[in-house]
Structure 1
Amino acid sequence: MLTFVVAVTFVMGLIGAVIYFRYYSFDPLFSGGNIPDIGKAGNMHAFLVNLHASYGPIASFWWGPKLAVSIASPELFRQQQNVFDRPSELFVAFQPLLGENSIMYANGANGKKRRNLYAKAFSHRAVGYYMETFSEVASELVSSLQALPNDEHISIQQFCLALVLKGITRSSYGNYFKNHEACLAFRRNFDICWGELEYSLGHGAPEEGSARDKAFKEARGQLLSTFDAIIKKRRVDPPPPERQLFIDILLENDLPESQIMDDCITYAIGGFHPSGFFLVWALYYIVTHQDVQEKLHQEIQSVLGEDKDVDSSHIAQLVYLRQVLDETLRITALAPWAGRFHDTDITLAGYVIPKHTPVIQALGVVSQDENQWTNPEKFNPDRFSPENSKHRDKFAFQPFGFAGKRTCPGYRFAYAEVSVALALLCQTFKFNIVKEQVVEPVYGLVAFPKEDIWVTLEKR
């Protein structure tokens, strides 16, 4: 669920501070330091790329009045691998949507307890149960696309995001979202809330009582009402213990109601846009590299044959598919950075870092570093072949974070969901790019294409 990325560590969480820098630039207290440089670069990832190109693998900058440190090397990442706590101020602009009781803001013993509790819903065993749902959702999409003519121009964003939304809601919150109208209403309210966050990037927070404020609060209230209805239904008709979903784990542990509701929203968001754009970018790269698409199709055919259901045993055999997905994550820097802090002074690369200093882990800088990767701007899934991966430092590629056992809890979910979708789509269709498009990545809350990407398809 890049999925989740949920919580990339939870993909969205890794990039959230982009909002912080621009949202708070309207406050004189946070308008100094390197804030203007971040704005000039266009986004935090681009700023970090420039910062480390100029100053090497460790550099400091001023986040308003506060010193921050950024690191960008496998060696320095290794020294951070056991750090759990992350600076809550990175994600403060999310609080109106996620709620103050969200796991996003939980550190220390409380954060670790909740992470361990929720991890059961996204374990290897649990993801195995979700494969049937993933196949069902992907098959529904395939059937819809088969009804279209071959020359139809199709936005891959539209169908990828719709597919992923169905996958995360059905597998984490149950059959409530098999109702088409319920799914559409959830998406509509989600888009209003998400759109307000995006709009706030350039225009600041809405005034209390304004039309924007009312629309946001009403949409968030509808999201909460949806989860309230799901909770009531699950409490009346709980599943067998071996088939518990994320929502069931929240309910069986007698958690505060506010925590349940805030974490329902948090995990739904973490599992939607990151995974959706993961699939978008994977399709984009195979469409623009027809040799990769053909090689992938041949592998899928050899593994699936005429089978239209994808299970865990198939995923294990789709080795080249996994290479395509890993290369997609590397080249797009879908989740460009993470953040942590220490309760004590530490030393990194000979520099003393005072306690509570935000330490940025520039994941995207390292994933595109020419010292780690040959021709890093080239899309080449073969760089992730078993042979080519054998001697690579594992900290050179950490798309779901790595520090303090706070890796994205939904990383297995993300790989499985996107793998099933891509396998069934490429089994059934050959995708072709519509010519004369300019595709540019935008590093906002997640890395997404500036404009819709249009394709046509041929039925195989």
Structure 2
Amino acid sequence: MLDFAIFAVTFVIILVGAVLYLYPSSRRASGIPGLNPTDEKDGNLQDIVNKGSLHEFLVSLHQRFGSVASFWFGGRPVVSLGSVHQLRQHINPNHTTDSFETMLKSLLGYQSGMVGGAAETMMRKKVYESGINNTLTNNFPLVLKLSEELVGKWKAFPDSQHTPLCAHLLGLAMKTVTQLALGESFRDDAKVLSFCKNHDALFFPLLLTRQIWSEIGKGYLDGSLEKSSSRKGHYEKALSEMESVLLSVAKERKGQRKQTAFVDTLLQSSLTDVKMLCVTPVCVWALHFLSTSEEVQDKLYQELEEVLGSDPVSLDKIPQLRYCQQVLNETVRTAKLTPIAARLQGVEGKVDQHVIPKETLVIYALGVVLQDSDTWSTPYRFDPDRFEEESARKSFCLLGFSGNQTCPELRFAYTVATVLLSTLVRQLKLHQLKGQVMEVRSELVSTPKDETWITVSRKD
């Protein structure tokens, strides 16, 4: 009888232990410090939604658990890295070129024609880089012309007029990207607006809405997105119109002998997709930060005068504008312009003493790293001079914002922003609007929460 009692008690203890181990809310991902799932089905989805964005959630996560932390998305464990030291250990053996697609594919089972093997990924990157370089070389006068048009418009404003940065720079980005990417037929403003309206309907709700993780987690995982006829109809209509425009552009451009637009490069390869490149946030944040510092504006003006003289900026002169590069680097860092990246663990890996199993989604909490006081002195201060230090440049390069690993889209955005700054700063002074609070909205792309206003005055 006693033997049976001992056996029964032992069995119950083992059973309870097994249940506690196997039940999702009772364990941490891969033994790495972090959150237990708050819901068996959704994991920590509601915690992310409650914080307002994935970036804000990651800030809280790393403050609590340190630079290597874990959480759950649905039934999947996710590991987040929040310091340069840990990223340096992980990045080299885990290269991919599109972190957003990596994250969607891992979390949602998302499949895209752009996602393929390593050979296809390398080919696509080379095609993009070649296409963007050729497009900028062939169309640089157009980039300059569009920037000069905007600056000319601002020069006509009275000094006291409030200028809406987001609206004006979104217009510049629309015109620049569509004409350089899809050809001269997009000189028609009505065609540009129609294209961008459909693009926004397809991508911006996913990229920029505050409830992105609620949409992804509940809209996709439980099928509610499919059940909403109005949302689905709006999406499908925009998709149909977008496809129609792109097919029309492809047909038109195939007859062109001179390859000048980005789409021409894609048509010459086995790729068929076109991305709307993200120019607006870089320009908006750069002008906002410049408006807060007359000293930075003056230093940038002096460099432009020394390098360019009275000539307009040219593609071959841009590499000589080192302080301008520092301004843009510090803009990206301070605004946490890309706060999140991701890699899918291809093989079992290790960061410090932590083992990361194969097929684990690893989040790079770039927004956390970009304002880590161990890496950046006075991290919340806008200070382009910090990039005079080699250590700062190396850390920034490691994160993928400069050097050989910079994505082609960011290089394109830097070029357009450099043209705009070099045109604007030599003719106008930017002034911050008193009393305006600049709030940041950080999901996958950092943007101002509301419209951002400045005033401008002509240089005497």
CA distance 1:441–1:416, change in 2 (3 Å): same
Taking only aligned residues, the RMSD between alpha carbons, in angstroms, comes to 2.8
Cross-structure match for 1:232: 251
Paired positions, count:
408
CA distance 1:233–1:68, change in 2 (3 Å): same
Is residue 2:370 matched to residue 1:363? Answer: no
- Cα distance between partner residues in 2 of 1:120 and 1:66: 37
Residue-by-residue CA offset, 1:353-399 (whole Å, 9 max, x unaligned): 110001112222221110111110111111012xx2x2447235555
The farther-off stretch of 336-345 and 144-153 is 144-153
CA distance 1:423–1:88, change in 2 (3 Å): closer
Which amino acid in structure 2 is aligned with residue 382 of structure 1?
D
Shift of 1:161: 1.2
Cross-structure match for 1:3: none
Shift of 1:402: 8.6
Given candidates 153, 156, 163, the residue that maps to 1:144 is 153
Cross-structure match for 1:304: 308
Secondary structure at the residue paired with 1:162? Answer: helix
Given candidates 103, 113, 129, the residue that maps to 1:90 is 103
- Cα distance between partner residues in 2 of 1:186 and 1:313: 32
Cross-structure match for 1:68: 78
Secondary structure at the residue paired with 2:92? Answer: coil
Secondary structure at the residue paired with 1:427? Answer: coil
Decide whether the 8 Å contact of 1:72 with 1:363 is kept in 2. Answer: yes
Residue-by-residue CA offset, 1:326-366 (whole Å, 9 max, x unaligned): 11111111101211123321222122211000111222222
Is residue 2:335 matched to residue 1:336? Answer: no
5+ residue gaps, structure 2, are 1-38
Is residue 2:262 matched to residue 1:246? Answer: yes
Instruction: Using structure 1 for the length normalisation, give the TM-score.
Output: 0.81
Decide whether the 8 Å contact of 2:82 with 2:366 is kept in 1. Answer: yes
Decide whether the 8 Å contact of 2:94 with 2:343 is kept in 1. Answer: yes
Given candidates 150, 156, 171, the residue that maps to 2:180 is 171
5+ residue gaps, structure 1, are 1-27
- Cα distance between partner residues in 2 of 1:180 and 1:193: 20
Decide whether the 8 Å contact of 2:164 with 2:453 is kept in 1. Answer: yes
Within 5 A, what are the aligned runs for 1:38-437? 38-79=48-89, 80-85=91-96, 88=101, 90-91=103-104, 100-103=111-114, 105-123=115-133, 127-194=136-203, 196-197=205-206, 198=208, 201=212, 204=219, 206-208=225-227, 210-240=229-259, 243=260, 245-253=261-269, 255=270, 260=272, 263-264=273-274, 267-268=275-276, 271-272=277-278, 275-307=279-311, 309-385=312-388, 388=389, 390-392=390-392, 394-396=394-396, 398=398, 400=400, 407-437=406-436
- Cα distance between partner residues in 2 of 1:432 and 1:64: 47
Decide whether the 8 Å contact of 2:396 with 2:402 is kept in 1. Answer: no
- Cα distance between partner residues in 2 of 1:423 and 1:156: 17
CA distance 1:93–1:284, change in 2 (3 Å): farther
Decide whether the 8 Å contact of 2:81 with 2:364 is kept in 1. Answer: yes
Decide whether the 8 Å contact of 1:372 with 1:396 is kept in 2. Answer: no
- Cα distance between partner residues in 2 of 1:239 and 1:101: 30
Cross-structure match for 1:25: none
Residue-by-residue CA offset, 1:167-204 (whole Å, 9 max, x unaligned): 22222222121222211221222233345435673664
Shift of 1:407: 4.3
Secondary structure at the residue paired with 2:419? Answer: helix
Cross-structure match for 1:447: 446
Secondary structure at the residue paired with 2:254? Answer: helix
The farther-off stretch of 151-160 and 390-399 is 390-399
User: Identity over the aligned pairs, expressed in percent?
Assistant: 31
Secondary structure at the residue paired with 1:452? Answer: coil
CA distance 1:148–1:330, change in 2 (3 Å): same
Decide whether the 8 Å contact of 1:343 with 1:355 is kept in 2. Answer: yes
- Cα distance between partner residues in 1 of 2:281 and 2:167: 10
Cross-structure match for 2:21: none
Shift of 1:76: 2.6
CA distance 1:249–1:397, change in 2 (3 Å): closer
Decide whether the 8 Å contact of 1:87 with 1:341 is kept in 2. Answer: no
CA distance 1:29–1:55, change in 2 (3 Å): closer
Shift of 1:150: 2.3
Residue-by-residue CA offset, 1:61-99 (whole Å, 9 max, x unaligned): 22221111112233332232242346856225999xxx9
Shift of 1:297: 2.2
Higher relative contact order (CA 8 A, sep 6+): 1
Which amino acid in structure 2 is aligned with residue 249 of structure 1?
T
CA distance 1:451–1:147, change in 2 (3 Å): same
Which amino acid in structure 1 is aligned with residue 231 of structure 2?
R
Decide whether the 8 Å contact of 2:329 with 2:384 is kept in 1. Answer: yes
Which amino acid in structure 2 is aligned with residue 145 of structure 1?
W
- Cα distance between partner residues in 1 of 2:343 and 2:419: 33
- Cα distance between partner residues in 2 of 1:348 and 1:235: 49
Secondary structure at the residue paired with 2:301? Answer: helix
- Cα distance between partner residues in 2 of 1:279 and 1:368: 20
Which amino acid in structure 2 is aligned with residue 246 of structure 1?
F
Instruction: Find the structure with the greater CA-based Rg.
Output: 2
